[in-house]
Amino acid sequence: MRLSKAFGKTLREAPADAELASHQLLIRANFVRPIGAGIYVFMPLGYRVIRKIWAIMAQEMDAIDGQEMWMPNLNPAALWQATGRWDTVDVLMKVKAGGGREYALSATHEEVVTELCLRDIESYRDLPRMIYHISKKFRDEPRARGGLLRLREFIMKDAYTLDTDEESFDAYYPKMIQAYYNIFERVGTPAVAVQADTGSMGGKTSHEFVVPHDEGEDTYIACTQCEYAANVEAAEFVREGGKPGVLAELTKVATPDCKTIADVAAFVGVETNQTMKAVFFWWWALGEDEENASTEPGRNGRFIFVLVRGDLDINEIKLINALGGGQLRAATDEEIRAAGAEPGYASAIGLDIAKAFDQPGVFVIADFSIEAGGNFTVGANDEGYHFTGANYPRDFTVSQIADIAQADTGHHCPHCGAVIEARRCTEAGHCFKLGTRYSDPTGATYLDENGKPQPIFMGSYGIGLDRLMATIVEQHHDEHGIVWPEAVAPYQVHLLHLGKGDDVKEAADALYAELLRAGIEVLYDDRDASAGVKFNDADLIGLPWRVTVGGRGLAQGIVEVKRRDQDVRESVPLAALLSFLKPA
Ligand SMILES: [Zn+2]
């Protein structure tokens, strides 16, 4: 491509709202353009990168018997109603068309795949199968931000496995995990597979692929000794501390102006791990009206009292998973008082505690950590007072005990006991063992060897391409611009000429034609611009090779060649350029 004919220009300044390097550079270098929050145009250079990533993904999927197809983005509402997700996926984009017809804009394609199974899978002879496609996805993302990292419209590679049973699934799954490792390695962003929660996808287990790097927006937990790694929503850790030999007496003490855990611990003279933290939420079911989240009377939902040891924090995703799904907002002081607790001085002591979620009383859910330790200092449900010597279950009961605390650096590994660390990363892909989550409600079955219908065992596997492109740039850039890995660079060579002499221009034109004939992808800066402008653009766009044709070199029959990721400039005879760029 000739830069003189390029659609769009490189920009000197990044947009004011662009914080991430990838966001700034991809816009400045003319790879993408935003046309709304979370909605991007891929400019000619950006689209070439997407196609490169696409080809690598397709090769890896094809190598493990995947078959590429193309599924529609406009999904009849009935498909999503059949799996129950029409009302439960809160980010689902819905379209009302003429005649009252309703559609979902695909957020993912399990619904379409199960519909295909109903039509095309008859017996065990039709299984196992793996199908995939690379296509647009839509999310009604309330906070679209971060350039290409959180989008409302995005590009996904999503694959689906269809098996007769879990054994068959388990036999294939490692191949998919390996293919994912290969993809991330080949595009220049080696990734780590970590255990993840299953979220709105449902199913049994899942792995997330994360690309570790310091500016990542996400966090994962990794053991410093063994292989254990998980995202924070799924990470387990050891709750250290045992019951004291002697249980102290429950004693009410005045704790004036001690509203925080640190205040109380300092005032009473204990460590924070000998206190308990109470946090309050209002819970309502997914898919129910927003009114249920309101603080007005007459809504459905319930007050949730959460307890965790004072040195730990609650992870809201773990909490929601422990509650079996739903949504949460912070409870108001009125709601806390209505339950019989005092904001800032609350505990479960003296409350009418529910036996289960569907039972009357205050629903108290506690982290396992309240069992690790004793003689706790807790609120007395009386402003300005705490209890010391509080012990579970002697002094209070709870409705449910679960793993709802956030794992962090310094905690210990559940498998080997070594220290775990929280590390920054970018989430890059996901593998879900769906099981029969989608085939059960839709009746997607096959006939087994005995002619009996059995549900198809499914898995689904996604990687966002635009997100991956941004992650590549996050990891491969310097202060001058992007430094594309060869495998995904939009072109391999950035050819430019310096000076306005006709002979230089002609030589550069001829070289451009020759490189194209040799099958090399060339971006040719044939503009009449200064050396400074041309070199700056070459660094900003970041192709692997820069080839400069100048008057002085040409007189000696040489061009200057520089790799974007190295400082060395080499003089290469024109005749040897091809073999230099493309060693046999
Ligand atoms: Zn470990």
Q: How far apart are CA 511 and CA 495, in angstroms?
A: 9
Query: Given this model, what pLDDT does residue 202 score?
Result: 56
Centre of ligand 1 from the C-alpha of residue 31, in Å: 42
Q: How far apart are CA 578 and CA 545, in angstroms?
A: 12
Centre of ligand 1 from the C-alpha of residue 422, in Å: 13
Q: State pLDDT tens for residues 144-159.
A: 877 888 899 999 999 9
Centre of ligand 1 from the C-alpha of residue 405, in Å: 18
Query: Given this model, what pLDDT does residue 247 score?
Result: 93
Query: Given this model, what pLDDT does residue 582 score?
Result: 84
Q: State pLDDT tens for residues 333-374.
A: 999 999 999 999 999 999 999 999 999 999 999 999 999 999
Centre of ligand 1 from the C-alpha of residue 218, in Å: 21
Centre of ligand 1 from the C-alpha of residue 434, in Å: 27
Centre of ligand 1 from the C-alpha of residue 237, in Å: 10
Centre of ligand 1 from the C-alpha of residue 433, in Å: 24
Centre of ligand 1 from the C-alpha of residue 221, in Å: 11
Centre of ligand 1 from the C-alpha of residue 430, in Å: 22
Query: Given this model, what pLDDT does residue 577 score?
Result: 94
Angle between the 44-63 and 465-475 helix axes, to the nearest 10 degrees?
A: 110
Centre of ligand 1 from the C-alpha of residue 415, in Å: 5
Centre of ligand 1 from the C-alpha of residue 205, in Å: 20
Query: Given this model, what pLDDT does residue 288 score?
Result: 64
Q: How far is CA 25 from CA 48, 120, 478, in A?
A: 16, 46, 10
Centre of ligand 1 from the C-alpha of residue 386, in Å: 38
Centre of ligand 1 from the C-alpha of residue 407, in Å: 13
Centre of ligand 1 from the C-alpha of residue 238, in Å: 11
In one-letter notation, the amino acid at residue 47 is: Y
Centre of ligand 1 from the C-alpha of residue 324, in Å: 28
Residues of the chain with pLDDT under 50: none
Centre of ligand 1 from the C-alpha of residue 311, in Å: 22
Centre of ligand 1 from the C-alpha of residue 418, in Å: 5
Number of H-type helices and E-type strands within the chain: 14, 31
Angle at 539 between CA 533 and CA 543, to 5 degrees: 125
Centre of ligand 1 from the C-alpha of residue 406, in Å: 17
Query: Given this model, what pLDDT does residue 204 score?
Result: 62
Centre of ligand 1 from the C-alpha of residue 222, in Å: 8
Centre of ligand 1 from the C-alpha of residue 494, in Å: 47
Centre of ligand 1 from the C-alpha of residue 425, in Å: 19
Domains of the chain: 13-235+422-473 (3.30.930.10), 251-402 (3.90.960.10), 491-581 (3.40.50.800)
Query: Given this model, what pLDDT does residue 385 score?
Result: 95
Centre of ligand 1 from the C-alpha of residue 413, in Å: 5
Could you tell me which of 366, 334, 338 has the C-alpha nearest to residue 352?
A: 338
Centre of ligand 1 from the C-alpha of residue 419, in Å: 7
Centre of ligand 1 from the C-alpha of residue 245, in Å: 30
Q: Are 159 and 482 in contact (CB under 8 A)?
A: no
Q: Please give the order of strands across the beta sheet that includes 545-549.
A: 522-525, 493-497, 545-549, 558-563, 569-573
Centre of ligand 1 from the C-alpha of residue 223, in Å: 5
Structure token pair of residue 285: 């079911």
Long-range contacts of 88-91 (CB under 8 A, 24+ apart): 88/200, 88/286, 88/287, 88/325, 89/200, 90/140, 90/286, 90/287, 90/327, 91/139, 91/140, 91/141
Strand partners, 304: 281, 363
